[in-house]
């Protein structure tokens, strides 16, 4: 017991002595301030302190930047390394988002889409984006009935034949939303991109199928009838390098990151979000994909039909590289015309140099397709 008390007393005395010693040191450190009257000229002292702090901060930032360049290995955050943005003859142009009402009448849907594209071109659009599944009701029962053999073309694919003809006649680029595609014994949800010459530039088959089950709200399983695509799709057009996704593809940020690493200026997502996830996630996901990758994102939905088996949210939108909503609409039919200016991509990437700040020492995005292509050369 006595030993315990002695130890406690010793500890208390030690802590007290240490505190007194610290206090003496603190008070002593003020003596030069009193002698030099700095305390009585506080504003100037504060300014001097701020200047010193600012200089120190600048030096620290330069040191950290140098460390980032040498230790963080941002160039290794994307494998293979990211491609630069292609230089384009046009950096500013008009885009049209054609939010269309879709019916069970396929011929009517095709004629109606043609009319909307022509209206968009008359208003100066050089790029036109159509909705997901615009030639057919959105249902697993309808997909096999309305599906087309895109590769065969002509009468076997009246929807894409129309897109090709209009693109060539009006000298515009069309990202043709999506239609059900029949290929051999499989069905796909497919987007076709046509150039100003009317030729098919790219075909994107929806990679991530929309299988969702929110009890009491919505249940839908695309995988009951559709097959998932196997390849990301990026295409060079007269209005920039475009990465293509379809609706549910927008939820997977890795796909958008991969497109950005391939030098995309713009991501186009024809989509048909529903009344449950649409209000919560549609705009949020578009802005996230745009601001994360510092590029443009355009989406196009069917118009809302409250009596349909699947009710679309609508709200076709264009988002800029800073995550700003540049143009949008509500749920009714509309042709939204907006301007895309690619110079803002470089500006935002200068404002926030994310590419140079990536931690390649901690994580990597691996573009398996490009990597495999390089290994076979």
C-alpha closest to that of 368 among 264, 258, 251: 258
Active-site entry in 106, 132, 268, 300: 132
The two tokens of residue 263 are 């030098």
Residues 6+ apart with CB under 8 A from 374: 80
Active-site entry in 247, 268, 300, 358: 247
Active-site entry in 94, 106, 203, 206: 206
* 278 φ/ψ angles, rounded to the nearest 5 degrees: -55, -55
How far is the C-alpha of 210 from the C-alpha of 221, rounded, in Å? 6
Residues 6+ apart with CB under 8 A from 318: 95, 97, 296, 297, 298, 299, 325, 326, 327, 328, 336, 338, 340
The 3-class secondary structure across 196-243, one letter per residue, is: CCCCEEEEEECCCCCEEEECCCEEEEHHHCCCCCCCCEEEEECCEEEE
Q: Is 21 a catalytic residue?
A: no
Distance of CA 292 to CAs 15, 91, 233, 264, Å? 52, 21, 19, 13
Task: Give me the residues paired with residue 21 across strands.
Answer: none
> Would you list the DSSP string of 268-298?
EEE---BTTTIIIIIHHHHHHHHHHHTSEEE
The two tokens of residue 36 are 């030099």
Residues 6+ apart with CB under 8 A from 288: 253, 323
Q: Is 206 a catalytic residue?
A: yes
Pairing of strands 173-175, 125-129: parallel
**Residue with structure tokens 């897109």?**
163
Residues labelled as active-site residues: 132, 206, 247
């Amino acid at each position: 017991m006595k030993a315990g008390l002695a130890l406690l007393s010793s500890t208390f005395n030690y802590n007290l002595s240490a505190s007194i010693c610290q206090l003496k040191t603190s008070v002593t450190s003020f003596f030069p301030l009193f002698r030099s009257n700095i305390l009585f000229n506080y504003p100037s002292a504060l300014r001097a302190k701020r200047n010193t702090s600012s200089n120190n901060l600048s030096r620290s930032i330069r040191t950290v930047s140098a460390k980032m360049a040498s230790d963080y290995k941002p160039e290794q955050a994307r494998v293979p390394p990211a491609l630069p943005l292609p230089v384009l003859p046009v950096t500013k142009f008009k885009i049209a988002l054609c939010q269309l009402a879709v019916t069970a009448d396929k011929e009517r849907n095709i004629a109606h889409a043609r009319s909307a594209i022509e209206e968009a071109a008359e208003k100066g659009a050089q790029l036109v984006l159509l909705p997901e599944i615009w030639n057919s009701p959105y249902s697993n029962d309808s997909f096999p009935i309305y599906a087309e053999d895109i590769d065969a073309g002509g009468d076997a694919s009246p929807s894409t034949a129309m897109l090709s003809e209009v693109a060539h006649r009006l000298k515009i680029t069309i990202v043709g939303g999506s239609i059900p595609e029949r290929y051999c014994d499989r069905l796909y949800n497919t987007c076709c991109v046509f150039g100003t010459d009317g030729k098919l530039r790219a075909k994107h088959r929806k990679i991530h199928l929309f299988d969702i089950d929110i009890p009491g709200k919505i249940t839908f399983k695309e995988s009951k009838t559709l097959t998932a695509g196997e390849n990301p799709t990026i295409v060079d057009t007269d209005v920039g390098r475009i990465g293509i996704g379809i609706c549910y593809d927008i939820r997977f940020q890795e796909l958008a990151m991969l497109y950005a690493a391939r030098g995309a200026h713009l991501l186009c997502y024809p989509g048909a979000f529903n009344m449950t996830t649409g209000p919560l996630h549609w705009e949020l996901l578009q802005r996230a994909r745009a601001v994360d990758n510092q590029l443009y994102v355009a989406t196009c939905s069917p118009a809302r039909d409250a009596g349909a088996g699947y009710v679309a949210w609508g709200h076709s939108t264009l988002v800029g590289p800073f995550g700003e909503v540049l143009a949008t609409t509500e749920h009714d039919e509309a042709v939204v015309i907006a301007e895309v200016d690619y110079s803002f991509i470089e500006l935002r990437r200068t404002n926030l140099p994310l590419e140079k700040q990536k931690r390649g020492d901690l994580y990597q995005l691996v573009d398996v397709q490009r990597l495999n292509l390089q290994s076979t050369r």
